[in-house]
């Protein structure tokens, strides 16, 4: 999917979640796990965990992501 899509389109789609009507109802603070080499969403200022990987960091570095969540009692 990413290979056939333009990066600006993917970025716009990812940013669109902030306009989603259900967002205001959320009472859970998101945990931000980000890849240093993510070419879709630039590294934001506030990140909980940064790993050496790309956009699909939760798939390529699943053990590290789950370990972080468990160590912080988030799962």
pTM over 0.85: no
Which residue bears the tokens 């669109």?
16
* Closest to 34 (Cα-Cα) out of 16, 12, 56: 56
Copy the structure tokens of residue 13. Answer: 């789609």
**Confidence band of 1 (pLDDT split at 50, 70, 90):** low
**Confidence band of 23 (pLDDT split at 50, 70, 90):** low
Dihedral pair phi/psi, residue 12, rounded to 5°: -65, -40
pLDDT by residue (tens digit) across 24-40? 666 677 889 999 999 88
Rounded Cα gap, residues 35 and 56, in angstroms: 8
When pLDDT is averaged across residues 42-70 and rounded to a whole number, the result is 94
Each domain of the chain, given as residue ranges in start order, spans: 2-71
């Amino acid at each position: 999917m990413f290979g056939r899509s333009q990066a600006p389109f993917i970025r716009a789609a990812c940013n669109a979640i902030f306009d989603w009507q259900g967002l205001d109802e959320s009472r859970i603070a998101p945990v931000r796990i980000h890849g240093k080499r993510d070419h879709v969403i630039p590294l934001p200022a506030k990140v909980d965990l940064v790993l050496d990987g790309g956009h699909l960091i939760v798939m390529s570095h699943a053990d590290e992501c789950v370990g972080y969540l468990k160590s912080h009692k988030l799962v």
